[in-house]
Amino acid sequence: MSSGQSPHLSAAEQILRDLGISTPEEIDIEMIAWHRGAKVKYRRLDDCEARIVGNGDSAIITVDNRFGPARVRFSVGHELGHWHHHRGRSLICRSEDIEKGSNAGPLNPERIADAYSADLLLPNYLLQPMIRGLAKLTWEEIGKVADAFSASLTATGIKLVETGPVPSLLVCHSKVGRRWFTRHRDVPWRWFPRDDMDADSLAFEVLHGTISRSRRAKIGADAWFDRLDAPKFDIFEESTKINREALTVLTIEDEEMLEEEDAPRRR
């Protein structure tokens, strides 16, 4: 850490603070890239979604121009994450490498680049005051934050699950099974989502049926977790369809589910 860096800011957030950015509207990803010595170009890419090529302190970031604005912004931030953390390495980023949950592993280069991009586009020093009083994590609330920061629903959902005030998980399924998930720090690891999607869940209709978003509803935890004690608990689920995948917010309100297994039970 440099002498002028705040211990409470990530490297990406420190860059924003150094640039004097104090509102979400001021987060200009191309300007930030230029500040970091990288020029951004947009064109069709057939072998990847984004890439960065560097020489010394300068780089060219190329992003596939067929994606939407929010996704493109995240991809630029992702490549800046590689520029910060993995300079000198050859990395080509495919669609399946970008905007994923934390189960890829904290040392995975793509996960590190995702976290850097999320901190650039959804910096905690601007985000946390906005969501401090959030009582329920719904796709409506995620959408409001995404709009405020010009970020994608996926990136915003991941950020709010991981750093927000609501104990929850975000689970992504395609028609062949679970693709990835992430969780709030207060959700014990024993609550590991099933690979398959329960046919009785509302998310099943979002993934395989005709609706694009389900209502928020209570469901038995055994629909999502393959554990002997799951049937005695209820959770809340709400799903939305993004790019032929179902993203489901699972909210845990039962405090017993949040206790570690070796913790004493309340009487």
C-alpha closest to that of 246 among 212, 198, 201 = 212
Single-letter amino acid, residue 222: D
Domain ranges of the chain: 11-121, 167-258
Residue 2, pLDDT score:
42
Tokens 């992702």 belong to which residue?
A: 78
| Separation CA 187–CA 131 (nearest Å) | 19
Interhelix angle 11-18/109-121, rounded to 10 degrees, is 30
Average pLDDT over residues 159-168: 96
> Distance between terminal CA atoms of the chain?
46
| Separation CA 143–CA 80 (nearest Å) | 25
Among the listed ranges 4-8, 22-26, 161-165, which one has the minimum average pLDDT value? 4-8
Residue 87, pLDDT score:
80
At 13-25, the pLDDT tens digits run: 999 999 999 999 9
Confidence check: pLDDT of 133 > 70: yes
Confidence check: pLDDT of 153 > 90: yes
C-alpha closest to that of 104 among 114, 94, 95 = 114
How many whole angstroms from its chain centre is CA 230? 26
Pick left, alpha or beta for residue 31 (phi over 0 → left; psi -120 to 50 → alpha; otherwise beta): alpha
Confidence check: pLDDT of 89 > 80: no
Residue 128, pLDDT score:
96
Residue 260, pLDDT score:
84
Average pLDDT over residues 71-91: 86
Specify the DSSP class assigned to residue 67.
S
Kindly indicate the confidence band of residue 3, based on its pLDDT and cuts at 50, 70 and 90. Answer: very low
Confidence check: pLDDT of 92 > 70: no
Domain 11-121 of CATH type 1.10.260: no
Specify the DSSP class assigned to residue 2.
-
Average pLDDT over residues 150-161: 96
Single-letter amino acid, residue 154: T
Confidence check: pLDDT of 100 > 80: no
List Cβ neighbours of 65 (8 Å cut-off, separation of 6 or more).
42, 43, 44, 72
Tokens 């189960």 belong to which residue?
A: 103
Report which of residues 7 and 29 the model is more confident about.
29
Average pLDDT over residues 243-249: 94
Kindly indicate the confidence band of residue 108, based on its pLDDT and cuts at 50, 70 and 90. Answer: confident
Confidence check: pLDDT of 1 > 50: no
Kindly indicate the confidence band of residue 46, based on its pLDDT and cuts at 50, 70 and 90. Answer: confident
Q: How many CB atoms lie under 10 A from the CB of residue 56?
A: 7
For residue 206 the two structure tokens come to: 């979002």
Q: Dihedral sign for Cα 253, 257, 260, 264, please.
A: positive
Report which of residues 139 and 88 the model is more confident about.
139
Q: What is the mean pLDDT of the chain?
A: 90
Residue 106, pLDDT score:
58
Residue 7, pLDDT score:
57
Q: 136 and 251 in contact (C-beta within 8 Å)?
A: yes
